[in-house]
Every structure is written in C-alpha cells, then in structure tokens.
C-alpha cells in the first residue's frame, strides 16, 4: 500500500471512483474495507459506520494522521468511543463556501452579532459557527456553553441579534430567563442557528413561543465527520425538510439492514459519500440517522425530512416498536417548556420496559401515562420528581438510557399507569 502526502492529492472535485481508489491506497481502513469491491460502481461499495473503524488507531479515517493538518476534531462519544479526525485548510474552505451560502439564504448580515453558545475544544460546533459569522462579516461573541446568565447579561445590554445553540441549551436559557423575570421576547434576537441534536416539533413550538415574534429558527445538520453542519439545513422553519449540500456530498437513504435505497416514503438511514477530496473522506458512511427522502431520486435525494431518530436507538416496549423521538414528542407536548424528563429502559432479552421521570405533579404523570396508552398502545411507568431536580445539559442531552438486565431471575417491574 502506498501512502502519499494528503495535501498533494486533495485539490479539486474528482469522481467518487477516483476518491475511493485514492482512499484505498492512502488510508489503511479503506484499504481493508474496500478490498475486492468494484470501485467504479458506488452501489457495489460496502457501507460502514464508525464502529467498523475500531482497531485502526486514533485517526482511522484520516490520511497521514494529524501531522500537517489544519485542525483535529472528535465526536462527542455519546454513542460509543470518540472518533478523531484531522482536516486540511482546503476542508475548511469547502465548508466555508457552504456556510456562506447558508448565511446569504437566511440574510445574515454584517450588522448582526452572533452569541455562539456551541462548544469549542475538540468539538467542531463552536468554531464552525464562528466561520459562518465570519463569512457574513457578522460579529461573534464566542461564549461557548457558559451559564445562561452570561447570555442574558449580553441581551440585557442590547448585545446579540443571532444565537447559536443546541435545543437543550436554548431550553435552559428560556428557563433561566423566566426564573429571572427576564422577557426574551423584548430582546433583539431575530435568528437562531439551532442544531447538534434533535428538537421534536412540540418542543420547537414551545421554545419559539418564548422568543421574539418572527424569530427565525434555522436548523443546521452535519457531523463531526463532515467538519460540522455542512450537509444540510432547513431554509423554511415551517417545513419539516432539510435541503442537502449535493455539491459536497452524495447522499443515499438506505435500508438499515441492506445496502440499497428504501422505497419512496419509507424511513431509511442517511448515508454519505464525499464528492470532494479530503484528508478525512467518507465513502458510503452510515450516519445512523433516520430520514425520509423529500425530493429528488431515491438513490440521490436533494431534500430529506428532518432527522426522525437513530438506527441504533429503536425501543421495543411491550411489543410496540418506538424511537426516542416519538417518546419525546408525546412527553414534551404535555409538559411546560421549562420541565425536564428522563427515561430508563430496562432491556430483558428482546423486550424492553420503559420508566419515565417527569418534572410535574402526579396528575400530569397520570395524563402522560394515559397518553402513551391511548396513542400508541404502550404501557409505561411515569414517576413525578420534585421541581427542577433533573440535570440540565449545556450541550447534547441524552434523555433515555438503556440498562441491560442479564440476571435471568430479575423481577420485571409492574407498569403503573398512574403515579403519586
């Protein structure tokens, strides 16, 4: 196998078959993974996810490792071991072109001031949102995931027309504003770049009701593996669709258990292939995110639905198959905007038991349990907690945890349709 200096090979827009051949020569993982595949036919190339890269070192998808690269980033580790990647300056410039186009579409202007609450460090969110503002000539206030009081202090002083945040952080900000009797609707916020985790429609509606009238929620989508939110964005907050960056990525929506496109209207796994040469290219990379094709051919869509769930998060509770997003939609539609919840799944072989903790009165818990029974035929245990006792996250929030029960004599809990 011959490994050549990445910077000598990455300029320009080449065919996917050329990229696959180069990656097979330059990156040990791809050399093994693509061995024997017909690299002239993308549909014949096997797919993979990040778990397949285990055993290939700290930078399994990066040609030449970090030496000579522009920036190193890493995944959060919320769904497994952290994956490290290195990118060249040409990768930053590529992402910058997409971000500049997004900024023009949403009319981000030099007069705007972005309060950037995304993380920095190894996580790519903060720096990329800085780049977005830079491309529009807007000012950046690089707050990171600081205490919400810092953001409120800026807004109280008239600083900030745009905010970037995860839905979880935005929720904490609204909660802090209400506790301080601070009226967010009277601030200058007009635009928000909200992403890095899903926000079910019920939560989105509740958060928007606490923000200035006409506040434009812009959803950005991407991965650490794509150097941030460079894959898609939602240009219209009233339409549950994302517009894809087809210049930089070939996108497929594949069956979770097979390397073929799903039929129109079905849910499939978003799978990405780089169209540009990169130090860390993706070739039929399964993101584990579930979507529907909204426009374009089945094998190369141009628009997709918002993220519907994760391929590795399916729950089967009492014989009913659900994803955490569906659970969240029911709960958040019934809770006040500032209330939190958590779920614990106890997995017994092929079946699951779901127990929910909800910040609410016993009467509300009973209503939540009844809603699950009536809407999806699922029995769940719902327990009340006192006040704001559940942990708030400044970054991504994982609200459902899995507990594997291996003791064959373990007593399965009895569902309670009411609590208190």
Q: Quick one: how far is CA 372 from the chain centroid?
A: 26
Question: How big is the chain by its Cα radius of gyration, in Å?
Answer: 22
Query: Distance of CA 328 to CAs 79, 230, 337, Å?
Result: 18, 26, 13
User: Are the beta carbons of 99 and 132 closer than 8 angstroms?
Assistant: yes
Per-residue pLDDT of the chain (420 residues; tens, 9 = 90+): 433 333 333 333 458 889 999 999 999 999 999 999 999 889 899 999 988 998 999 999 999 999 999 999 998 655 557 899 999 999 999 999 999 999 999 999 999 999 999 888 888 889 999 999 999 999 999 998 888 899 999 999 999 999 999 888 888 898 889 989 999 999 999 999 987 776 767 778 888 889 999 999 998 999 999 999 999 998 877 788 999 999 999 999 999 888 999 988 888 999 999 998 899 999 999 998 889 999 888 788 999 998 887 776 666 665 566 667 677 778 877 887 777 888 877 766 556 677 888 887 888 888 888 888 777 767 788 888 876 667 665 555 667 665 555 444 444 444 443 333
273's CB contacts (< 8 A; 6+ apart) are: 16, 19, 42, 249, 250, 251, 252, 282, 283, 284, 285
Q: Quick one: how far is CA 384 from the chain centroid?
A: 29
Report the first-to-last Cα separation within the chain, whole angstroms.
65
Cα angle 31, 275, 263; round to 5: 95
pLDDT of residue 107: 95
pLDDT of residue 263: 85
* d(C-alpha 403, C-alpha 354), whole Å: 10
- 156-160: long-range contacts, CB 8 A cutoff, minimum separation 24: 156/182, 158/188, 159/113, 159/115, 160/113, 160/114, 160/115, 160/187, 160/188, 160/189
* d(C-alpha 56, C-alpha 280), whole Å: 14
269's CB contacts (< 8 A; 6+ apart) are: 253, 254, 255, 256, 286, 287, 288, 289, 290, 311
* d(C-alpha 349, C-alpha 368), whole Å: 26
pLDDT of residue 393: 59
* d(C-alpha 142, C-alpha 154), whole Å: 12
**Checking DSSP bridges between strand 191-195 and strand 216-223, what pairing results, if any?**
parallel
DSSP 187: S
Walk me through the domains of the chain, giving residue ranges and CATH numbers: 90-310 (3.40.50.12780), 315-404 (3.30.300.30)
DSSP 225: G
**Checking DSSP bridges between strand 71-74 and strand 84-87, what pairing results, if any?**
antiparallel
DSSP 226: G
Please give the structure tokens belonging to residue 31.
């050399």
Please give the structure tokens belonging to residue 94.
């590529």
Strand, coil or helix: 349: coil
What pTM, to 2 d.p., does this model score? 0.75
Q: Quick one: how far is CA 149 from the chain centroid?
A: 25
* Percentages (nearest 5) of helix, strand, coil residues in the chain: 30, 25, 45
Please give the structure tokens belonging to residue 390.
């559940």
Find the helix or strand (DSSP H, E) in which 62 lies: none
* d(C-alpha 20, C-alpha 30), whole Å: 8
């Amino acid at each position: 196998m011959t490994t050549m200096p990445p910077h000598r090979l990455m300029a320009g827009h080449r065919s996917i078959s050329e990229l696959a051949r180069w990656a097979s020569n330059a990156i040990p993982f791809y050399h093994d993974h693509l061995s024997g595949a017909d690299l002239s036919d993308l549909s014949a190339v096997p797919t993979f996810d990040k778990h397949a890269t285990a055993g290939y070192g700290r930078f399994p998808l990066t040609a030449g490792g970090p030496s000579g690269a522009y920036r190193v980033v890493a995944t959060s580790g919320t769904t497994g071991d952290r994956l490290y990647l290195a990118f060249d300056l040409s990768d930053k410039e590529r992402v910058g072109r997409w971000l500049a186009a997004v900024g023009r579409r949403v009319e981000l202007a030099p007069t705007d001031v972005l309060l950037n609450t995304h993380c920095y460090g190894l996580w790519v969110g903060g720096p990329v949102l800085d780049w977005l503002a830079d491309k529009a000539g807007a000012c950046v206030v690089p707050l990171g995931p600081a205490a919400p009081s810092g953001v409120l202090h800026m807004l109280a002083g008239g600083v900030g027309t745009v905010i970037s945040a995860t839905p979880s952080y935005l929720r904490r900000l609204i909660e802090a504003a209400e506790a301080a009797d601070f009226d967010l609707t009277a601030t200058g916020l007009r635009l928000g770049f909200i992403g890095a985790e899903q926000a079910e429609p019920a939560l989105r509606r509740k958060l928007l009701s606490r923000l200035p009238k006409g506040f434009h929620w812009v959803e950005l989508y991407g991965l650490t593996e794509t150097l941030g939110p460079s894959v898609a964005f939602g240009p219209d907050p009233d339409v549950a669709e994302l517009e894809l960056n087809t210049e930089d990525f070939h996108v497929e929506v594949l069956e979770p258990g097979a390397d073929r496109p799903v039929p129109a209207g079905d849910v499939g796994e978003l799978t990405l292939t780089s169209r540009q040469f990169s130090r860390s290219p993706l070739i039929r990379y399964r993101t584990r995110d579930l979507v529907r094709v909204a426009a374009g051919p089945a094998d190369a869509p141009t628009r997709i639905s918002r993220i519907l769930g994760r391929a590795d998060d399916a729950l089967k509770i009492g014989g009913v198959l659900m994803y955490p997003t569906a659970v969240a939609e029911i709960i958040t539609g019934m809770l006040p905007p500032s209330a939190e919840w958590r779920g614990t799944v106890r997995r017994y072989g092929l079946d699951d038991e779901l127990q929910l903790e909800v910040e609410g009165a016993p009467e509300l818990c009973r209503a939540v349990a009844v809603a699950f029974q009536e809407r999806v035929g699922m029995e769940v245990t719902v327990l009340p907690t006192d006040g704001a006792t559940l942990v708030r996250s400044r970054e991504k929030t994982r609200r459902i945890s899995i507990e594997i029960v291996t003791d064959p004599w373990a007593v399965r809990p009895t569902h309670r349709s009411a609590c208190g």
